[in-house]
Amino acid sequence: MSLPFLLEIGTEEVPDWMIIPALNNLQDMFQALLDQHALGGRVSAVDATPRRLVLRAEGLLDRQADVEELVMGPSKSAGAGAAAGFAKKMGTTADQLSTHSTAKGEYFAFSKRTPGQATAAVLARELPNLILKIQWPKTMVWNGKGTERFIRPIRWLVALLGDAVVPFEIGGVKSGNATVGHRVLGKPSIPVTIENFGEQLKTNGVILSAAERRDKIESGIQELLAGKPLRIKPDPDLLHTLVYITEFPTPILGSFDPSYLSLPQEVLVTVMRHHQKYLSVEDADGKLAPHFIAVMNTNADPDGLVRQGNERVLRARFNDARFFWDVDQKKKLEDRVEDLKTVTFQAKLGSYYEKTNRVIDLVKQNGGSERAARLCKCDLTTDMVKEFTDLQGIVGGLYARAQGESEEVARAIYDHYKPLSMEDEIPSTEGGKLLSLADKWDTLVECFNVGMIPTGSRDPFGLRRAAQGLVRIIVEGKVRFDFPGLSPELSEFLRDRVEYYFRDVRGFAYDELRACLAAGWNDLLDLEARLLRVKAIRTTPDFEPLAASFKRIKNILKQASFLNSNELDVNLIEAGPEQDLYFETRRTRGEPLESRIGPLRPKIDLFFDKVLVNAPDSKVRLNRLTLLQGLLAEFSEIADFSEIVTERQS
Amino acid sequence: MSTGLTFQETVLRLKQYWSERGCIIQEPYDVEVGAGTMAPETFLRVLGPEPYRVAYVQPSRRPADGRYGENPNRLYKHQQLQVILKPAPADVIDLYLGSLKAIGIDLAKHDIKFEEDNWEAPTLGAWGIGWQVMLDGMEISQFTYFQQCGGFDLDLVPAELTYGLERIVAFLQNVDSVYDITWAQRFRYSDVRLKDEQQFSKYNFELADIGMLWQLFDLHEKECQRLIKLTGVVLPAYDQVLKCSHIFNLLDSRGAISVTERVGVIGRVRRLALGVADAWMKEIAPKTEAVA
Least confidently predicted of A149-153, A509-513, A557-561, B97-101 = A557-561
Q: What's the DSSP call for residue A458?
A: B
Nearest to A466 by CA among A486, A487, A446, A437: A437
A312–B112 C-beta distance less than 8 A: no
pLDDT in tens, A152-166: 999 999 999 999 999
Question: B148: nearest CA in chain A?
Answer: A145
**Residues forming beta bridges with residue B60, ordered by sequence position:** B78
**Residues forming beta bridges with residue B113, ordered by sequence position:** B134
Residues 88-117 of B with CB under 8 A from A: 88, 90, 93, 97, 107-116
> Given B90, B115, B255, which is nearest A155 (Cβ)?
B90
Pick the residue of A17, A148, A183, A354 with the most B CBs within 10 A to test the interface with B by mutation. Answer: A183
Q: What are residue A164's phi and psi, to 5 degrees?
A: -100, 145
pLDDT at position A436 is: 95
> Given A172, A313, A319, which is nearest B137 (Cβ)?
A313
pLDDT more than 70, % of chain A: 99
Alpha helical stretches, state H, A226-344:
236-244, 265-270, 305-329
A314–B155 C-beta distance less than 8 A: no
Q: Helix, strand or coil for residue B90?
A: coil
Region at B162 (left for phi over 0; alpha for psi -120 to 50; beta for the rest): beta
B93–A309 C-beta distance less than 8 A: no
pLDDT at position A650 is: 40
pLDDT more than 70, % of chain B: 96
A342–B258 C-beta distance less than 8 A: yes
Sorted by where each starts, the structural domains of chain A and their CATH numbers stand as 2-63+118-203 (3.30.70), 67-114 (no CATH), 210-328 (no CATH), 333-531 (1.10.3210), 540-643 (1.10.730)
SS (H, E, C) A481-529: CCCCCCCHHHHHHHHHHHHHHHHHHCCCCHHHHHHHHHCCCCCHHHHHH
Question: A307: nearest CA in chain B?
Answer: B136
Beta strands in A211-306 (DSSP E): 230-232, 250-255, 279-283, 288-296
B90–A13 C-beta distance less than 8 A: no
CB A534 within 8 A of CB A546: no
Q: Is the pLDDT of residue A137 over 80?
A: yes
As a whole number of angstroms, the longest Cα–Cα distance in chain A is 107
Q: Is the pLDDT of residue A117 over 50?
A: yes
B156–A320 C-beta distance less than 8 A: no
Nearest to B233 by CA among B279, B277, B273, B269: B279
Check the CA dihedral A326-A331-A336-A342 and report its sign. Answer: negative
Q: pLDDT band at A638, cuts 50/70/90?
A: confident
Least confidently predicted of A132-141, A477-486, A607-616, B114-123 = A477-486
Predicted TM-score (pTM) of this structure: 0.82
CB A212 within 8 A of CB A45: no
Distance from CA of A310 to the nearest CA of B (A): 5
Count of CB pairs separated by less than 8 Å, A with B: 121
SS (H, E, C) A565-618: CCCCCHHHCCCCHHHHHHHHHHHHCCCCHHHHHHHHHHHHHHHHHHCCCCCCCH
pLDDT in tens, A272-283: 998 899 999 999
A16–B116 C-beta distance less than 8 A: yes
Q: Is the pLDDT of residue B292 over 50?
A: no
Peptide bond into A599 cis (omega under 30): no
Q: Is the pLDDT of residue A97 over 90?
A: no
Q: pLDDT band at B1, cuts 50/70/90?
A: very low
User: Which residues in chain A have Cβ-Cβ distances shorter than 8 Å to B262?
Assistant: 344
pLDDT at position B216 is: 97
B97–A153 C-beta distance less than 8 A: no
Q: What's the DSSP call for residue B116?
A: E
Q: How far apart are CA A414 and CA A56, in angstroms?
A: 50
Q: Is the pLDDT of residue A565 over 70?
A: no
Q: Helix, strand or coil for residue A19?
A: helix
Q: Helix, strand or coil for residue B138?
A: strand
A350–B111 C-beta distance less than 8 A: no
Identify the top-confidence range among A71-85, A213-227, A365-379.
Answer: A213-227
Peptide bond into B236 cis (omega under 30): no
Q: How far apart are CA A198 and CA A217, in angstroms?
A: 19
Q: How far apart are CA B90 and CA B112, in angstroms?
A: 19
Check the CA dihedral B197-B200-B202-B204 and report its sign. Answer: negative
A144–B157 C-beta distance less than 8 A: yes
pLDDT at position B290 is: 45
User: Which residues in chain B have Cβ-Cβ distances shorter than 8 Å to A339?
Assistant: 255
Of B132 and A73, which is predicted with more confidence? B132
Least confidently predicted of A51-60, A248-257, A395-404, A573-582 = A573-582
Of A79 and B110, which is predicted with more confidence? B110
CB neighbours of residue A511 within 10 Å:
17
Q: Residues B186-208: what's their mean pLDDT?
A: 96
User: Which residues in chain B have Cβ-Cβ distances shorter than 8 Å to A153?
Assistant: 90, 145
| Mean pLDDT, all residues of chain A | 91
pLDDT in tens, B54-95: 999 999 999 988 989 988 888 999 999 999 999 999 999 999
Q: What angle do CA B42, B43, B47 make, to 5 degrees?
A: 95
Q: Residues A311-321: what's their mean pLDDT?
A: 90
Nearest to B162 by CA among B176, B147, B141: B141
- Whole-angstrom CA distances from A57 to A40, A159, A199, A406 are 10, 11, 18, 64
CB B188 within 8 A of CB B179: yes
Q: Helix, strand or coil for residue B180?
A: helix
Q: What's the DSSP call for residue B75?
A: -
A343–B87 C-beta distance less than 8 A: no
pLDDT at position A376 is: 96
pLDDT at position A312 is: 92
- What ipTM was reported for this prediction? 0.93
Question: B108: nearest CA in chain A?
Answer: A184
Q: Is the pLDDT of residue B291 over 70?
A: no
pLDDT at position B197 is: 97
Q: Residues B14-40: what's their mean pLDDT?
A: 97
pLDDT in tens, A493-525: 999 999 999 999 999 999 889 989 988 888 899
Nearest to A605 by CA among A545, A524, A520: A545
B1–A343 C-beta distance less than 8 A: no
Of B27 and A566, which is predicted with more confidence? B27
User: Which residues in chain A have Cβ-Cβ distances shorter than 8 Å to B70?
Assistant: 323
pLDDT at position B260 is: 67
CB neighbours of residue A625 within 10 Å:
21
pLDDT at position B259 is: 64
User: Which residues in chain A have Cβ-Cβ distances shorter than 8 Å to B265?
Assistant: none
pLDDT at position A649 is: 45
B147–A140 C-beta distance less than 8 A: yes
Q: pLDDT band at A472, cuts 50/70/90?
A: very high
Q: Residues A203-222: what's their mean pLDDT?
A: 98
pLDDT at position B258 is: 72
User: Which residues in chain A have Cβ-Cβ distances shorter than 8 Å to B66?
Assistant: none
Pick the residue of B95, B97, B114 with the most A CBs within 10 A to test the interface with A by mutation. Answer: B114
Q: Is the pLDDT of residue B47 over 70?
A: yes
Distance from CA of A15 to the nearest CA of B (A): 5
pLDDT in tens, B141-166: 999 999 999 999 999 999 999 999 99
**Pairing mode of beta strands B24-25, B52-61:** parallel
Sorted by where each starts, the structural domains of chain B and their CATH numbers stand as 7-204 (3.30.930.10), 209-286 (1.20.58.180)
Q: CB contact, 8 Å: B174 with chain A?
A: yes
Q: CB contact, 8 Å: B255 with chain A?
A: yes
Distance from CA of B37 to the nearest CA of A (A): 19
Residues 223-242 of B with CB under 8 A from A: none
Q: Is the pLDDT of residue A543 over 70?
A: yes
A313–B111 C-beta distance less than 8 A: no
- Whole-angstrom CA distances from B268 to A353, A605, B124, B195, B280 are 25, 75, 11, 33, 19
* One-letter amino acid for residue A525 of the chain: L
pLDDT in tens, A66-94: 988 888 889 888 888 888 899 998 888 88
A15–B116 C-beta distance less than 8 A: yes
pLDDT at position A380 is: 93
> Given A144, A294, A343, which is nearest B137 (Cβ)?
A294
CB B178 within 8 A of CB B196: no
pLDDT at position B3 is: 54
Question: B128: nearest CA in chain A?
Answer: A140
Q: What's the DSSP call for residue A262?
A: G
Cα R_g (chain A), whole angstroms: 36
